Amino acid sequence: MTDFFPLRELTFQLHEVHGLGEVLKLPRYAMHDRDTCDAILDAAHMLALEEFLPHAAISDAQEPHFDGTKVHLPKEVKPAIDAFLAGGFLKAAFDEEVGGLQLPQMVYSSMAALFTAANIGTMGYLFLTVAAANLLRAHGNEAQQKKYLLPMLEGRFFGTMCLSEPQAGSSLADIKTKAVPRADGRFDITGNKMWISGGEHDLSENIVQLVLAKIEGAPAGVKGISLFIVPKRTVNDDGSLGGKNGIRLIGLNHKMGYRGTTNTALAFGDGEACIGELIGEPHKGLSYMFHMMNEARIAVGAGAAALAMAGYRYALGYTQQRPQGRALSNKDPSSPPVNISEHPDVRRMLLAQKSYVEGALSLCLYCARLVDEEISNPDASVKTESHALLDLLTPIAKAWPSEWCLEANKLAIQCLGGYGYTRDYPVERLYRDNRLNPIHEGTNGIQGLDLLGRKVLGDGGKALKLLFVRMDATIAAAQGDAVLGEYATALKTAMGRIQTATLKLGGTAAQGQMDLAMANSSAYLELFGHTVIAWQWLTQALIAQAALPTASHSDQGFYKGKLSACRYFYRYELPKTATHADLLLQMDDTLLTVDVASL
Amino acid sequence: MTDFFPLRELTFQLHEVHGLGEVLKLPRYAMHDRDTCDAILDAAHMLALEEFLPHAAISDAQEPHFDGTKVHLPKEVKPAIDAFLAGGFLKAAFDEEVGGLQLPQMVYSSMAALFTAANIGTMGYLFLTVAAANLLRAHGNEAQQKKYLLPMLEGRFFGTMCLSEPQAGSSLADIKTKAVPRADGRFDITGNKMWISGGEHDLSENIVQLVLAKIEGAPAGVKGISLFIVPKRTVNDDGSLGGKNGIRLIGLNHKMGYRGTTNTALAFGDGEACIGELIGEPHKGLSYMFHMMNEARIAVGAGAAALAMAGYRYALGYTQQRPQGRALSNKDPSSPPVNISEHPDVRRMLLAQKSYVEGALSLCLYCARLVDEEISNPDASVKTESHALLDLLTPIAKAWPSEWCLEANKLAIQCLGGYGYTRDYPVERLYRDNRLNPIHEGTNGIQGLDLLGRKVLGDGGKALKLLFVRMDATIAAAQGDAVLGEYATALKTAMGRIQTATLKLGGTAAQGQMDLAMANSSAYLELFGHTVIAWQWLTQALIAQAALPTASHSDQGFYKGKLSACRYFYRYELPKTATHADLLLQMDDTLLTVDVASL
């Protein structure tokens, strides 16, 4: 069987493309070297293959169920999680000070992608715990870190993020969960939360729910939101577990994918006391949450790429082994059939998948590097620039992979034909799983608004300029090359389209027509996304081209594959940016003027 | 709740756009008038709503299971089917001579779309029976029609189509099922068939399997394929049921959608005698099957449109009733939220769905009219022209809806956000159902080869010219109109792109590079498809625009919606044809030259 996620891809991306070596020279990571990083990825790959992949279909078919008292999970989940914890993967990126391995984000993201590709259902619990722990590390006080963070990093407590409510999904301004101060400095929490992944299970001693709520008398809207630690069981000051806190499982949501991760509706303080601790200052909850949300959004993108990688690799192996049909020019029906990977249209689907998956992965690891630089580079100007670029790229790193890697999963099904459509093969499950990614952690529509409104127009195009400087450097390196020069020119053209569209949109907004400018933000996101991925492909192609002459035989194949996927992306995908740019320059008002009642 | 499929859409398409009135003047349909047709659609809509829609989710969740002896279906299926049969829907389009109602194909297709939108799982059994009955009507001899066709039209026997085998899905040349002549003129059938929908159930007294097999000594490839009637139970000459025939259910396939229809792997003649009757002449089986396959392909397209209609209508109702968020320009968080249909990006998704769904439906009903003209017009030249146009448009009517209406179902989920991703709402099921349509009855890749190779280059562009004459007439009617003139010009441009691309592809093929020309047939299909749908939209818009001034209040809304969707398609969708045309003019050889082993 084809490897579900070849490590060669990760070593290429980390070491050859995104300069993990330079990151490892930063003081924060001085205790690690390439060997450590490769070893942890090796171990992750093996564990993902042996303990996560085998029960992915089981967790999908036997999704968690609630018998009214307890939530039941397939028996394979707990041992896999235990092995993950024992391997130290959960605390890989955390500070040594709190018991972490202090590995770069780039390594953590790569490792997480392996587990996601193998089994997102089981990995979900771990992702959420890491995200909640990250938040506590950044914003919890010392006592909170001791009481909650340390047991989370030991794997004794798991975590969740409780944002949405039944009446307020994307619109957090309208959440109703209330926090009433108690005499002891803590708060009584009441309200309902919706879509809470990992909100109930027996995988850990405790669940640390991080809950957005409004303190009585807080300002309306998002400026009145505070963040609370609301544990499933209270924790005494000495770290021992207290009684049950007033969180009730209303029920499990039954999704079309991600079925291995419990997804819950929770009632807080419904008839029993539910006590929470404030994190940081009152009314700043959303900014704390968003600090982590940016990383969560990049993780969504990387997760989408990982799910598509698993689908692509399966389809690749299948099409290379399944004989059917003959070349169109072969009129002899008694000749043996060829493998379906020989048919041009199947090749189109394979190249499309590869270009989406590995392009998306490259962008996400580029962002991971920016995170590392932002956190760890001693040079303040590098920190600032990394932060600005990361802010700009985050909506793209979330939305582009979740859109196009879903498309990749669709194509993986198509490569398998009728078999792909059955539950005996993994590709339909991966497609169902990936359908969530354009929705959660901010819908792709919201990413478009964020990109155009906040990240480009909102900062006067400063971050955009920084990005263009980096893209220009890549173009300069490729210009004049017999093969890559064509792509460099095309990339420059696409950048010009972004520039022209941005000026037009900015001018429209400046003339008081902000609603009109923003109405086509999804087209802007598409234009921008395809251009950024094209840049990532040119970066990869430059390295592949340079490495080819002296590469080993197997690496020659690897690099040729990179060049083929890059060529595919430039010939078949990047030209789509022309259509988006044309639309934006027309400043079309169809979406504003349509009478919805007539639809 | 929003109507799952408004009849107004069908009366518009049938009477105002596609001229059902003219079809009803043909001698074959002289016994019917508009009232009859509207009444049958009314009845179909009510039955679909009351007996089909309510158990669609049940059939999905409780898919058919095989206990080793018997296949079990949800109890709601049989009463719905009985009501369908009692209503005469199954025999709607068949000749009066065999007990049918002899209604136009246009009416049958519209009615079928209603039932599909409500519940494709239950409708599947009926579709297959109609298709098999059609084939027997066209190619069965008198005795076969009496023994098998009449009981099918009475609903006592159901039918199937058995083409694929485990080792041969798309490549029918490689089927292995054998037919050995018996002394009594019948044949012993042995072999395995795969993906047989409706291959086993207890809904009918008998199942008439129509099986492709090769008679011993037949030529290799598709020229050696014959077609056989292989009933589940043999039928005596007096019509009474004989014993069990040697067909064994190997197992049920478990699909990601279409779960209400049993999908089977069948063994013929495995250890017990399995007797079949030859249909027509030996070795002509594939041509008989393909006679029906063309109608089946258009039915796939119409089905895809129907599934997307149900999703679109649900999303429309949901977004018009779900308050969340505020206009970007509204900075007051204490103001009440607006319905999400007010957000421009949600409108984009609604307009996209509408433009895909109603554009696809229009093309499919246009094709249905061509079928009616081909079958029933006394004028031989009309017959010939209708046949040629139908041949040309069939791959588009199959592929375009199945690609873009799946996209519509994807957008319906997005409109509902997290709720859309759960199984409590129908949109994720419809998305899963629709994922089959790009695969079955010839993958969309095969449709691209068919369009470019057989339907355009293969007939020297003659049918294409006929199509362009009709498109030019629509353009002429719209030119000069203040609103529609813009679209007429854009459509003419897109037609020019088809023309240029066709010349380039034809020239390449003529120079001996057929493989290169065909390698980009999917791009050609996309270019062609978007242009044809744009034409359908201009046709609809012309009628809506003309009707608007004198329309009733509710019809004014309806027509305005049509004009909005048309505008959306021309502004957001049709420009994509430029990208496809550019690619085709480059005669790109990426797909031919890529080294698949390097991927």
Task: Output the 3-class SS for B559-574.
Answer: HHHHHHHHHHHHHHHC
Put residue A72 in one of left, alpha, beta given phi > 0 → left and psi -120 to 50 → alpha: beta
Cα–Cα distance between A288 and A225 in angstroms, integer?
10
Say if the Cβ atoms of A354 and B599 lie within 8 Å. Answer: yes
pLDDT of amino acid A344? 97
* Other beta carbons less than 10 A from residue A97's beta carbon: 9
Q: Degrees (nearest 5) of the Cα angle A539, A542, A546?
A: 145
- The verdict on whether B97 is a catalytic residue reads no
Catalytic residue among A63, A295, A441, A526: A441
Say if the Cβ atoms of A220 and B333 lie within 8 Å. Answer: yes
Contact B301, B360 (CB under 8 A): yes
Check residues B250 and B330 and name the one with the higher pLDDT.
B250
What is the residue-averaged pLDDT of chain A?
Answer: 96
pLDDT of amino acid B291? 78
What is the ipTM, given to two decimal places? 0.97
Q: Facing residues of B181 across strands?
A: B187
Contact B505, B524 (CB under 8 A): yes
Give residue-wise pLDDT tens across range A414-451: 999 999 999 999 999 999 999 999 999 999 999 999 99
Beta strands, E only, B216-335: 225-231, 233-235, 241-244, 247-252, 263-268, 275-278
pLDDT of amino acid A446? 96
Tell me whether B240 touches chain A (CB under 8 Å).
no
Beta strands, E only, A74-224: 157-162, 178-181, 187-197, 206-215
Tell me whether A58 touches chain B (CB under 8 Å).
no
Q: How near does any CA of chain B get to the CA of A384, in Å? A: 29
Q: How near does any CA of chain A get to the CA of B53, in Å? A: 20
Q: How near does any CA of chain B get to the CA of A275, in Å? A: 27
Q: How near does any CA of chain B get to the CA of A313, in Å? A: 9
Give residue-wise pLDDT tens across range B500-517: 999 999 999 999 999 999
Beta strands, E only, A539-579: none
Q: Facing residues of B17 across strands?
A: none
Tell me whether B48 touches chain A (CB under 8 Å).
no
Please state the rounded mean pLDDT for residues B133-138.
Answer: 96
Is A541 in a helix, a strand, or coil? helix
Residue A467: CA count within 13 A, CB half-sphere: 29
Backbone angles phi, psi at A208, to 5 degrees: -95, 100
Residue B174 with chain A: CB contacts under 8 Å = 324, 333, 337
pLDDT of amino acid B329? 84
Picking from B1, B3, B7, the residue whose alpha carbon sits closest to that of residue B38 is B7
The helix (H) or strand (E) run that includes residue B80 is: helix B77-86
Say if the Cβ atoms of A582 and B575 lie within 8 Å. Answer: yes
Token digits of residue B279: 């249909």
Nearest residue in chain B measured CA to CA from A325: B171
Cα–Cα distance between A271 and A245 in angstroms, integer?
11
pLDDT of A294 above 90:
no
Token digits of residue A381: 């100007």
Cα–Cα distance between A541 and A558 in angstroms, integer?
11
Give residue-wise pLDDT tens across range A54-108: 999 999 999 999 999 999 999 999 999 999 999 999 999 999 999 999 999 999 9
Tell me whether B590 touches chain A (CB under 8 Å).
yes
Residue B590 with chain A: CB contacts under 8 Å = 351, 564, 567-568, 571-572
Which of B421, B427, B437 has the most A C-beta neighbours within 10 Å, making it the best mutation to test the interface with A? B421
Token digits of residue B223: 């020229």
Give residue-wise pLDDT tens across range B251-266: 999 999 999 999 999 9
Token digits of residue A346: 């199947």
Token digits of residue A549: 């002459």
Token digits of residue B211: 């099986």
pLDDT of amino acid B411? 98
Reported confidence tier of residue B295, pLDDT bands at 50, 70, 90: confident
Tell me whether A344 touches chain B (CB under 8 Å).
yes
Q: Give CA separation, A375 vs A17, A139, A174, A243, A395, in Å.
A: 20, 15, 33, 38, 20
Sign of CA dihedral A394, A400, A402, A403: positive
Residue A169 with chain B: CB contacts under 8 Å = 324, 417-419
Contact B386, B393 (CB under 8 A): no
Task: DSSP for B398-430, please give it.
Answer: HHHHHHHHHHHHHHHHHHHGGGGGBTTSTHHHH
The letter for the amino acid at B124 is G
Token digits of residue A19: 């300069």
pLDDT of amino acid B294? 83
Beta strands, E only, A115-237: 157-162, 178-181, 187-197, 206-215, 225-231, 233-235
Cα–Cα distance between A360 and A398 in angstroms, integer?
9
Task: DSSP for B128-139, please give it.
Answer: HHHHHHHHHHHH
Please state the rounded mean pLDDT for residues B310-325.
Answer: 96
Token digits of residue A219: 């300002």
Cα–Cα distance between B532 and B463 in angstroms, integer?
14
pLDDT of A1 above 80:
no
Residue B420 with chain A: CB contacts under 8 Å = 439
pLDDT of B322 above 80:
yes
pLDDT of amino acid B169? 78
Tell me whether B222 touches chain A (CB under 8 Å).
yes
Residue A444 with chain B: CB contacts under 8 Å = 414
Nearest to A325 among B171, B220, B420 (CB): B171
Nearest residue in chain B measured CA to CA from A341: B596
Q: DSSP class of residue B191?
A: E
Q: How near does any CA of chain B get to the CA of A346, in Å? A: 8
Say if the Cβ atoms of B595 and A443 lie within 8 Å. Answer: no
Please state the rounded mean pLDDT for residues B109-133.
Answer: 97
Nearest residue in chain A measured CA to CA from B321: A597
